Amino acid sequence: MTHQLNFEAIIIGSGFGGSICACRLAKKWPGKVLLLERGKRYPMASFPRSPKDISQSFWNLMIEKRERPKRILSQQNTGLYDIRSYRKMDAVVAAGLGGGSLIYANVFLQPPKEVFDERWPTNTNLETLQPYYQVTKAVMGAREIPQNNDPRRYIQRTRLFEDFAKSQGKQSERVDINVFFGNDFKRPLAMGIQAKNRFGATQTSCVYCGECDFGCNTHSKNTLDLNYLYVAENKYQTKIMTECIVNQVIPLNQQGNDDSSADGGFGYRVCYVDINKQAEYSFTAKRVIVSAGTLGTNELLLRCRDIYKTLPNINGHLGKKFSGNGDFLSFVIEGDKETNPNYGPVITQKIDYNLYDNHQKDHAFILEDAAYPALCAWFIEGAKPGLSHFSAIWSTVKAFLLRFFTATSTGRIGYIFHHLLGKTSTNKSIFLLCMGLDKSNGQLSLNKNDRLNIDWPSAQNWPLYQAILTMGRHFKQWSNAQFYLPLPSFLWPFRKNVTVHCLGGCALADSPEKGVTSARAEDYGQVFGYQSLYVVDGSLLPTAVGANPAATISAISERVAEGITQIKPDVDL
């Protein structure tokens, strides 16, 4: 190589894949790794909580050319939540340093071994990934909620789900969560006490506020900026640049010039837009790690291949095998049991429905409890007095809609507003969060406007959704609730699901005939047809995993990083 490159590696995105690679690669090449993140940094106590700030906490930049709900996102923002709107599936992803870890529900859960039986590479299964699961579990500090005599540790909805499981002949099991209760797993710190974690970042022992998915203002979540990224930046001098949107990756030739016919053997140029300066810049590196999340990674590579023509040799499997990981959120409204849904970490337990035991692929899922912040409950309770006016308006609208739709469907939509907001007690309603094995048969592509599109065959995944709906009706009956309802978007005639776990599109494979990225030991995660161009995020997964996917994404990311650096991962970073 005759030309000088700026970095050994450039990493695009700071989710689980990007953060792990930033730490591991910088350990090998200190000060020679650059990470580019489109979102902001979120120091302790910086997440929005006031109504005004929350209204501006969504991500919407016109330069990205993405489909989003127009009425919700009517102005340009660079907030935490990026909501994507598509025909049969919507998606919620994060924008910020730490990626999805900033808003996920903390769960660290390995999938069953049967998940890897179909469409996965021969050398990637639960057994081969086990060492990497163990390392990431230790780094992320995953553990069950502490059990001791402190009455403040009691979580009412956890007990509620345990009782429901027994009524169904099943068992509720506590899940490991990446939450800080102190460094000593046997003797947790008292709630609200601050201490440095074992990597040197200051955290607070969980205060049970239920705000995990809104961004943890006390830094009680073990988010990536408090472990992998913290070490990468403070110990190994990783250069981190936030509010930078990458738009092109271009191979270089031997002279160091941009050359779309090159295969990456002489490095790459990464072009990005600085949001604040509204100007475009670029850096060069020997290798590039694309870790922009499933939607961001597929979109970037599709545009580089099909629009900019800078990566023309990426094969035709790009965008295929997309999955929403079977995500399904529903509500049980106004039961006869108190739920206290605003207290404790967002998820504490799971109930298995044919995912781990008696594995049945077409309707295999897990049920998890789901807390939500008290500020949401305040909004619902505070909205009740004004809903008498809404009810009158709804009656008029309902009469009009009945001309076009059946009474059953529109009645159900009306009940959501009238009863959920107007007549229910938030302390006797509960969220049911499910995820499972969808068929992973979606397709990501660019539409005629060069915007990312998800083609999701919802009807083909109906057996899974039907099994979840049946479970929800059982929960309603058991709790003597007034209503069981999925998200309004899933009601007829819309049948539109929402996912927070986008997977696939750059599937790992044994050969280019089966996927986009290599699963061979010598170049694990590398894009077929290119040297030193890697994908490291959820888009590598060729199927749904049923369990919360953060653990599997992290384990695979450690595996990719080991292949690049030839250094076995260490729990001490």
User: Does 558 or 54 have the greater pLDDT score?
Assistant: 558
**Digit-coded pLDDT (tens) for 369-412:** 998 877 666 555 544 444 444 444 444 444 444 443 333 333 44
Candidate from 17-21, 346-350, 388-392 with smallest mean pLDDT: 388-392
* Angle at which helices 156-167 and 462-478 cross, to 10°: 100
Pairing of strands 503-505, 320-323: antiparallel
What rounded mean pLDDT belongs to the chain? Answer: 90
What integer pLDDT is reported at residue 427 of this predicted model?
83
Confidence of residue 147 (pLDDT cuts 50, 70, 90): confident
Residue 529 · residue 260 · CB < 8 Å: no
Whether the Cβ atoms of residue 92 and residue 519 lie closer than 8 Å to each other: no
The predicted pLDDT at position 68 comes to 61
Which range among 101-110, 140-149, 410-419, 426-435 shows the weakest confidence by mean pLDDT?
410-419
Q: Are strands 7-12 and 279-290 parallel, antiparallel or unpaired?
A: parallel
Query: Quick check: helix, strand or coil at residue 163?
Result: helix
Q: What is the pLDDT of residues 503-519, one digit of tens each?
A: 999 999 999 999 999 99
- Under a CB-based contact definition with an 8 Å cutoff, are residues 224 and 101 in contact? yes
Whole-model pTM?
Answer: 0.92
Would you state the pLDDT for residue 293?
A: 98
Band (pLDDT 50/70/90 cuts) for residue 271 is: very high
DSSP 332-343: EES-SS---TTS
Query: How many residues make up the chain in this entry?
Result: 573
Instruction: Enumerate domains of the chain plus CATH numbers.
Output: 7-45+55-130+221-322+502-565 (3.50.50.60), 328-499 (no CATH)
Q: How far apart are the first and last CA of the chain?
A: 31
pLDDT of residue 6: 98
Instruction: Write phi, then psi, for 307 (nearest 5 degrees).
Output: -105, -55
Residue 425 is predicted with a pLDDT of: 58
**Alpha-carbon distances, residue 159 vs 162, 165, 287, 341, 356 (angstroms):** 5, 10, 50, 12, 22
Chain mean position to CA 235: 27
- Going by the DSSP 8-state scheme, the letter that residue 101 receives in this structure is G
Q: What is the pLDDT of residue 69?
A: 60
The percent of residues above 70 in pLDDT, for the chain, comes to 89
